[in-house]
Structure 1
Amino acid sequence: MPEDPSSINKSDHTKASWQDRTIALVGLMGAGKSTVGRRLAEALGRPFFDSDDEIEKAAGLSVSDIFALHGEAEFRRGEQRVLERLLDGPPHILATGGGAYLNADTRALMREKAITVWLNADLETLWKRVSKRTHRPLLKRANPKGVLTDLLEARRPIYEEADLIVPSVDGPHNMTVDKIIEALKAWKPTA
């Protein structure tokens, strides 16, 4: 006799292996989520999605323009809708925006449908990477390094909730990819 469908916990992913799940990279801007994510997708033979790119496609505006025209709150609402759509798809590698994981609903969705990997980079590595670019809306303020420092300290406890924590060091990105793959192979679903 078939199991009673009402007794099945549809959100129970405790028996799924990492190969059956989306790998969602989280962390602060400059941690290497997009660059490492592309290389990880290539190494694992999976599609790659960058949530910021997908938001820009959906909105027809750049992230900076969305922030400028509609504010951060509207950006975050759009970000959550895009992440829900992406996480409903087949397993892939997902680079999320630096603030995406801060939203409790988004974190819960990622816990349910993905394995989250915090790319943990130190402040100097982050600063070296982000100071080369001018498209970071949260850093378009006085004392951008101070803003980055504050963001790192405020967000660290939330990023630490990720399923896996992998250092993102200043060096070849393939080193970080290899560390992620090692961590995934050692990952055990929670009971």
Structure 2
Amino acid sequence: MSQIHNNSIVLMGCKHCGKSTQGRIIAQKLGCKFFDTDDVIKRFSGIDVRDYYKQNGASVFMQLEEKVCKKIIDKNKGQQIVISTGGGVCENPPALSILRECETFVFLRLDIKYSVERIMRNVVQIAPYQFKNVPAYVLEKEPETIKDVSDILFQKYEQRYNLYQVIADEVVDIINAPIEENSKLIFEALGIN
């Protein structure tokens, strides 16, 4: 597969690391198009990404994610673009293979503890094994308590972080600071003036 999107950028990382926000900023700075794969999936399916995953399961979701990535790449051949991915793209080799036509994979590495805490702020336990605002991949593990949810998230994020670090061309440590400070860190890592 040839790299036809010279200098195109794919942002990866777990939920709340700033992929979409930073993707828009980078695209604006570079004067190119920005795509958020979760937004494209939502437009394509007509429902929220989390609901689509919950209703259809991991394999069907990954197939749609792959199709969305292919659509973005095919419709923008020869153009520089910036793409922000869903948090689990690191576990979707066919989608990653398609995205590899872009030149640079960037892992926005946010402290795992902070990521999990942000998700846990919205988690509500209704009864044992019943929760609201919990990702479907966590519910598949049948957590009984709030602590179980948190533990499952930590384990999942540790697995994903290991995968991201292997596939990323650049790793940028995101800090708990204003958006502009993280943008500067990303620009520096990518050599964007």
Name the TM tier (shorter chain): 0.7 to 0.9
Matched-pair identity in %: 29
After superposing on structure 2, the runs of 4+ consecutive aligned residues of structure 1 that deviate more than 6 Å are: none
Aligned partner (choices 165, 173, 179) of residue 167 of structure 1: 173
C-alpha spacing 1:41/1:136, structure 2 compared with 1 (3 Å) = farther
- Matched ranges for 1:1-191 at <5 A: 11=2, 20-88=6-74, 89=76, 90-133=79-122, 134=133, 136-139=135-138, 142=143, 143-160=148-165, 161-185=167-191
Equivalent residue letter for 1:148: L
Q: Tell me, in whole angstroms, the C-alpha distance in 1 between the residues paired with 2:150 and 2:103.
A: 31
Change (3 A) 1:158 1:74: same
TM-score calculated relative to the size of structure 1: 0.79
SS of aligned partner of 1:21: strand
Q: Normalization by structure 2: what TM-score?
A: 0.78
Mapped partners of 2:24, 2:120: distance in 1: 22
Secondary structure, in 3 states, of the residue corresponding to 1:23? strand
Unaligned runs of 5+ in 1: 1-9, 187-191
Secondary structure at the residue paired with 1:69? helix
RMSD after superposition: 2.2
- Deviation larger for 122-131 or 96-105: 122-131
Distance 1:46 1:159, change over 3 A: same
Change (3 A) 1:126 1:44: same
Q: Does the 8 A contact of 1:36 with 1:174 survive in 2? A: no
Cα 1:130–1:38 change in 2 (3 A) is farther
SS at match of 1:119: strand
CA–CA separation in structure 1 for the residues paired with 2:53 and 2:191: 38
Query: How many residues are matched?
Result: 172
Counterpart-to-counterpart distance in 2, 1:43 and 1:139: 36
Amino acid at match of 1:146: D
* Structure with the higher fraction of residues in strand conformation: 2
Could you list the runs of 5+ residues in structure 2 that have no partner in the other structure?
A: 123-132
- Per-residue CA shift, 1:11-61, capped at 9, x if unaligned? 157xx8xxx332110111222211222222223322221101100111112
Q: CA deviation at 1:99?
A: 0.9
Cα offset, 1:128, TM superposition: 3.4
Choose 102-111 or 116-125, whichever is displaced more.
102-111
> Contact between 2:10 and 2:102, CA under 8 Å: does it hold in 1?
no
Q: 3-state SS of the aligned residue for 1:115?
A: strand
Residues 123 and 152 in structure 1, CA contact (< 8 A), matched pair in contact too: yes
